[in-house]
């Protein structure tokens, strides 16, 4: 069968016309739509991306694509190499199931975007930029690394710009300041003035420092953080003193045992020996006998004479004294028998005698306590006793009896020198038996006792000084103790002295272990911190009056201390000293014992000077001269009425 060509051509033409009409209708849009199309903002590569996605869906979603087909879509190896393994993963996961087709489409479409999901560290990333087969993580400041996963340590470069401390943090850093500073801005540090807070140091002084502060205390104090106050430092616990140490508020004071001959050194810590400033003339006469050696008033010599034939009593000796009262010698039997006592009383010779029931006291002649040598003799002449001074009779006393006692055919007589063989209340006239006197060239019963001479030569303490002057001598050891009543609140002390040393206690009142008043020589004044010779008047260890006193010149000096209430006046050779303001009471004086020339065994820290005085000294209290023979106690080496001449006086 033959087909007619004309019909076929006409049909084709008709179809073409119809298509043209329909196309013309679809592309003819309104002016508004056309204007909107012309003004649309298109992004770069939009056409390529839309085309690529269309090819990707057609080639690899609706159908299965090979790696070569995928290469044609991406047109580069990196994206292809990245895409295809993940594509096969999507296919394997979602397969051909119609139910999971949309999931497959989403999975495949997301594969080319290497930032979905973002491989970047979310904390350190500003944004992820998709690359062809790669990606780029844009990091926040403070982060680095391909994935912005590494923290940048800003502190390693110029300390991060921080003035003090740089503290690195995750993704950043922070400046901080040392203690005592505050951060200003982000980098700088300013000092904090802690002292603006008045309570920061409590009662101590606050001193602001760079970055800190100090709570300051005076010397001798340390700051206590707990109480916020300054507390005293007990320096004595660290052994700062060679001997005794006294802790005082804010300081300490060292003491040396002056009773052992030591004084404080110039470093105020060590101890040094006390040395005399003047050497006295201590030469002794080995042929002399010192009568005042025993303060107990017991005789210094005891002799017994026995005769077959009765003889009269006789005694002759050279005698020197400045003492106005005391026993020279006793001769006779015993208390209730016949005896005589030759003594000093009121500066003259006195004879006391007892013959049986008859007692008598006779005193006559010149004053003999002027320190001059005199020859004294006592002799029985018949029924009389004759007393002579320098061979001139001054007393003649009738007696009726015999000084000798007959025992077993022997005539016996006891003789004691410097005391009596019985209690002093057995004397006819009560006198103080202690006598500071010297005897030489003695002859008892017209004979010389050689045994006494040998004993004296071997004992210096029994010998007299070769040259003497009036006054009491203190050798630098011991003291004299008096019991004086101080009822009045006023106290006056006068002293005349010739010191051999610049250190020593002159006068002291002692109550138990305390020294409520002391007058002493010292080479240091703790109040003025001066090293020179001083007279110090102190209450305990506190100076209440002082005066520079260079007294070691061999001359006599006068010191007067007057206390009235809490006022103290010190005069040295008529010149007033310095008085310190202080509060003390004189009430304790009435309970105190009076010590002259030294101190008992009190604590070293109870007073400023503990050394015994060395030199000549005479003391009067409230106008009454102190006679050392009347003391309650006196060291045997202290001489109550005689003082060796100083070298400057020879």
Q: Is the pLDDT of residue 5 over 50?
A: no
Strand partners, 430: none
Contacting residues for 390 by C-beta, under 8 A, at least 6 apart? 374, 375
The pLDDT score that the predictor gives to residue 53 is 54
Residue 26 has pLDDT above 70, yes or no: no
* Residue 359 confidence (pLDDT) above 60: yes
Query: What is the structure's pLDDT at 262?
Result: 94
Mean pLDDT, residues 106-121? 80
Mean pLDDT for 262-272 is 95
Q: 4 falls in which pLDDT band (50, 70, 90)? A: very low
Exposure of 251 in the CB half-sphere (CA atoms within 13 A)? 5
Instruction: Tell whether the model's pLDDT for residue 323 goes beyond 90.
Output: yes
Phi, psi of 494 (to 5 degrees): -115, 135
Q: Binning pLDDT at 50, 70 and 90, where does residue 8 land?
A: very low
Q: Which residue has the higher pLDDT, 42 or 411?
A: 411
For residue 582, what pLDDT is reported? Answer: 74
Q: For the packed helices 101-110 and 77-94, what is the interaxial angle rounded to 10 degrees?
A: 160
Given a contact cutoff of 8 angstroms between Cβ atoms, the answer to whether 66 and 72 are in contact is no
pLDDT class of 647 with cuts at 50, 70, 90: low
| 553-556 contacts, C-beta under 8 A, 24 or more apart | 553/648, 554/278, 554/498, 554/646, 554/647, 554/648, 554/649, 555/498, 555/648, 556/496, 556/497, 556/498, 556/616
Other beta carbons within 10 angstroms of residue 624's beta carbon come to 11
Residue 109, pLDDT > 80, answer: no
CA distance 288 to 466: 9
Q: Where in the chain is the domain with CATH 2.60.120.200?
A: 284-466, 470-649
Give the mean pLDDT of 205-221: 93
Buried b (16+ CB within 10 A) or exposed e, 39-71: eeeeeeeeeeeeebeebbeebbbeeebeeeebb
User: Which residues sit opposite 183 in a β-bridge?
Assistant: 189
pLDDT of 28 reads: 44
Other CB atoms within a 10 A radius of the CB of residue 91 amount to: 17
Higher per-residue pLDDT: 361 or 312: 361
308-317, 445-454, 536-545, range with the lowest pLDDT? 445-454
Q: How many CB atoms lie within 10 A of CB 140?
A: 15
Range with the lowest mean pLDDT among 31-35, 324-328, 462-466, 641-645?
31-35
Q: How far apart are CA 326 and CA 328, in angstroms?
A: 7
Strands of the sheet with 392-398, listed across from one edge: 288-290, 437-444, 314-321, 374-381, 384-389, 392-398
Per-residue model confidence as pLDDT tens digits over 45-76: 344 444 555 577 778 888 888 888 888 887 88
Residue 38: pLDDT band (50, 70, 90) is: very low
- Sequence-separated (6 or more) residues with CB below 8 Å from residue 645: 280, 281, 465, 467, 468, 469
Written in H, E and C, the secondary structure of 92-145 is: HHHCCCHHHHHHHHHHHHHCCCCCCCCCCCCCCEEEEEEECCEEEEEECCCEEC
The helix/strand/coil state of 435 is coil
Q: How many CA atoms lie within 13 A of 512 on its CB side?
A: 1
**In whole angstroms, what is the distance from residue 611 CA to residue 628 CA?**
19
- The share of the chain scoring above pLDDT 90, in percent, equals 55
Confidence band for 20, pLDDT divided at 50, 70 and 90: very low
Using 50, 70 and 90 to split pLDDT, how confident is the model at 446? confident
Backbone angles phi, psi at 257, to 5 degrees: -80, 95
User: Is 138's pLDDT higher than 60?
Assistant: yes
Structure tokens at 30: 């309104």
Mean pLDDT confidence for 319-329: 96
- Tell me what pLDDT residue 51 has: 52
User: Mean per-residue pLDDT for 486-507?
Assistant: 92
Mean pLDDT of 579-583: 80
pLDDT, tens digit (0-9, with 9 covering 90-100), for 164-186: 999 998 888 999 999 899 999 99
Neighbouring C-beta atoms of residue 284, cutoff 10 Å: 17
Q: Which CATH number does the domain 284-466 belong to among 3.40.30.10, 3.30.1540.10, 2.60.120.200, 3.40.50.1950? A: 2.60.120.200
Please report the pLDDT score of residue 241 as a whole number: 94
The mean of the pLDDT values for the chain is: 86
Locate all alpha helices (DSSP H) within 403-545, ordered by sequence. Answer: 450-457
| 499 neighbors 280 (Cβ within 8 angstroms) | no
CA distance 551 to 574: 14
DSSP sequence for 289-303? EETTS-TT---SEEE
pLDDT at 133: 66
CA dist 154 and 161 (Å) reads 9
Residue 83's SS3 state is helix
Please give the pLDDT value at position 92.
84
The length of the chain in residues reads: 650
Of residues 288, 246, 290, the one with CA closest to residue 269: 246
| Of the listed ranges 65-79, 102-116, 464-478, 516-530, the one predicted with least confidence | 102-116
Please, which pLDDT band fits residue 277 given cuts at 50, 70 and 90? confident
pLDDT in tens, 518-574: 999 999 999 999 999 999 999 998 999 999 988 988 889 999 999 988 889 999 999
- Say whether pLDDT at 217 is over 50: yes
Phi, psi of 116 (to 5 degrees): -130, 105
* pLDDT(23) > 60: no
Q: Which of 3-7, 24-28, 119-123, 584-588 has the lowest mean pLDDT?
A: 3-7
Reported as a single tens digit per residue, the pLDDT across 430-441 is 999 999 999 999
- Once rounded to an integer, what is the mean pLDDT over residues 463-484? 93
With residue 469 as reference, give the H or E element that holds it. Answer: strand 468-470
- Of 105-114, 134-143, 225-234, where does the model show the most confidence? 225-234
Q: For the whole model, what pTM was predicted?
A: 0.69
Q: Which of 111-125, 198-212, 272-286, 587-601 has the lowest mean pLDDT?
A: 111-125
Query: Is 273 in a helix, a strand, or coil?
Result: strand
Q: What is the CATH number of domain 470-649?
A: 2.60.120.200
Task: Using alpha carbons, list the distances in angstroms from residue 619 to 324, 356, 469.
Answer: 17, 43, 16
Provide the pLDDT for residue 9. 36
The pair of structure tokens assigned to 192 is: 């904090």
pLDDT, tens digit, 9 for 90 and up, residues 390-418 = 999 999 998 888 888 888 888 899 999 99
């Amino acid at each position: 069968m033959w087909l007619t060509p004309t019909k076929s051509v006409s049909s084709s033409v008709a179809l073409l016309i119809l298509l043209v009409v329909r196309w013309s209708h679809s592309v003819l849009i309104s002016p508004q739509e056309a204007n909107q199309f012309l003004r649309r903002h298109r992004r770069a590569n939009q056409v390529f991306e839309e085309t690529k996605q269309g090819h990707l869906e057609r080639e690899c979603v609706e159908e299965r694509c090979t790696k070569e087909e995928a290469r044609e879509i991406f047109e580069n190896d990196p994206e292809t190499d990245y895409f295809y393994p993940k594509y096969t993963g999507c296919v394997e996961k979602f397969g051909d199931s119609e139910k999971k087709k949309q999931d497959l489409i989403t999975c495949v479409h997301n594969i080319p975007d290497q930032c979905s999901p973002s491989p970047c560290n979310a904390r350190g990333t500003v944004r992820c930029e998709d690359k062809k087969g790669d990606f780029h993580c844009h990091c926040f400041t403070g982060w680095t690394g391909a994935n912005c996963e590494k923290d940048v340590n800003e502190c390693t470069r110029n300390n991060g710009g921080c003035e003090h401390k740089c503290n690195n943090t995750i993704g950043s850093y922070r400046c901080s300041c040392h203690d005592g500073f505050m951060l200003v801005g982000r980098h700088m540090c300013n000092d904090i003035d802690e002292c603006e807070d008045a309570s920061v140091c409590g009662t101590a002084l606050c001193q602001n420092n760079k970055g800190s502060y100090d709570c300051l205390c005076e010397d001798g104090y340390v700051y206590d953080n707990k109480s916020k106050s300054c507390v005293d430092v007990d320096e004595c616990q660290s052994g700062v003193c060679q001997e005794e140490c006294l802790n005082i508020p804010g300081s300490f004071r060292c003491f040396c045992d002056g009773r052992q001959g030591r004084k404080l050194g110039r470093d105020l810590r060590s101890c040094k020996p006390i040395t005399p400033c003047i050497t006295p003339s201590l030469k002794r006469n080995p042929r002399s006998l010192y009568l005042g050696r025993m303060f107990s008033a017991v005789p210094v010599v005891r002799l017994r004479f026995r005769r077959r034939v009765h003889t009269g009593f006789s005694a002759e000796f050279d005698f020197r004294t400045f003492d106005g009262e005391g026993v020279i010698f006793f001769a006779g039997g015993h208390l209730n028998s016949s005896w005589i006592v030759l003594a000093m009383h009121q500066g003259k010779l006195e004879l006391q005698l007892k013959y049986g029931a008859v007692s008598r006291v006779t005193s006559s002649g010149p004053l003999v306590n002027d320190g001059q040598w005199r020859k004294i003799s006592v002799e029985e002449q018949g029924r009389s006793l004759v007393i002579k001074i320098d061979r001139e009779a001054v007393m003649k006393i009738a007696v009726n009896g015999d000084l000798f006692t007959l025992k077993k055919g022997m005539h016996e007589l006891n003789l004691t020198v410097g005391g009596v063989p019985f209690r002093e209340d057995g004397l006819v006239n009560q006198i103080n038996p202690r006598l500071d006197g010297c005897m030489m060239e003695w002859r008892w019963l017209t004979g010389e006792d050689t045994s006494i001479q040998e004993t004296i030569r071997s004992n210096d303490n029994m010998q007299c000084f070769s040259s003497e002057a009036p006054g009491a001598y203190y050798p630098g050891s011991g003291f004299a103790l008096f019991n004086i009543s101080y009822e009045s609140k006023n106290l006056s002390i006068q002293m005349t002295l010739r010191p051999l040393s610049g250190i020593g206690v002159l006068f002291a009142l002692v109550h138990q272990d305390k020294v409520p008043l002391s007058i002493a020589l010292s080479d240091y004044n703790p109040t003025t911190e001066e090293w020179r010779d001083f007279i110090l008047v102190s209450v305990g260890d506190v100076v209440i009056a002082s005066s520079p006193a260079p007294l070691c010149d061999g001359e006599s000096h006068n010191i007067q201390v007057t206390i009235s209430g809490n006022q103290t006046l010190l005069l040295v050779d008529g010149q007033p000293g310095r008085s310190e303001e202080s509060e003390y009471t004189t009430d304790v004086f009435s309970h105190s014992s009076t010590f002259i020339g030294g101190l008992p065994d009190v604590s070293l820290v109870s007073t400023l000077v503990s050394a015994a005085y060395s030199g000549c000294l005479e003391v009067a209290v409230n106008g009454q001269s102190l006679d050392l023979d009347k003391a309650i106690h006196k060291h045997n080496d202290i001489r109550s009425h005689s003082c060796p001449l100083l070298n400057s006086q020879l």
